[in-house]
Amino acid sequence: MSAIRPALAHLGIFVCDIDRMERFYADVFGLVVTDRGVGAVFKNQLVFMSGSADQHHQVVLSTGRRADTPSTVMQLSFKVASLAELRDVQALAAKHGATEMIGLNHGNAWSIYFYDPEMNRIEIYLDTDFHTPQPCADPLDLNKSDAEILAETRALIERLPGSMDRQDYVASMRGVLGPNR
């Protein structure tokens, strides 16, 4: 196995309506446009967007997707810091045209899935304090209190073999991947 492990840094998606998609990702995720133009190699209109001062872009929107072409995106995942933020982004996404909201409790994460205006699957999530073997997907109801959601998650991990505290899982993975990963 190679000791070199490149880190995923950004992604690009082909879109039909670049202006609409730019507004969606700016309004829902707070991303800002860092650059735009026509690609030198790929002659598409490109919009570079970021929500991090130290990353020029985290998302690149590119023209080139025909309106009759379905998305091939399995999911784009955005991480938040709390259940309150998860609820806020869920509401904001719905307000800006997201569809087919599904809440899932993965044991190791609480997630809301939906489609953006061009039917790309989006996940908004936050990690829990637990590790749970995947796939795992109980319903997540964000209308419940944080305490109720935590209690449901504890019950979920207690019934699944291989579940453990997240810190124990991270320590075991450091043994596999090395201390700097």
**What does the domain layout of the chain look like in residue ranges?**
9-65, 73-181
Q: What is the pLDDT of residue 147?
A: 98
Domain 73-181 matching CATH 3.10.180: the answer reads yes
Non-local CB neighbours of 143 within 8 Å, separated by 6+ positions? none
CATH topology of 9-65 equal to that of 73-181?
Answer: yes
Give the amino acid at 39: G
DSSP secondary structure string for all residues of 6-19:
PPP--EEEEES-HH
Phi, psi of 10 (to 5 degrees): -160, 175
Query: In the CATH hierarchy, which fold is given to the domain comprising 9-65?
Result: 2,3-Dihydroxybiphenyl 1,2-Dioxygenase; domain 1 (3.10.180)
Cα 159-161-165 angle, rounded to 5 deg = 90
Residues in the chain: 181
Q: What is the pTM of this model?
A: 0.87
Whole-number average pLDDT of the chain: 92
Spatial distance between the Cα atoms of 80 and 30, rounded to a whole number of angstroms: 12
**42: confidence class by pLDDT, cuts 50, 70, 90:** confident
Interval 92-147: pLDDT, tens: 999 999 999 999 999 999 999 999 999 999 999 999 999 999 999 999 999 999 99
Q: What is the pLDDT of residue 41?
A: 84
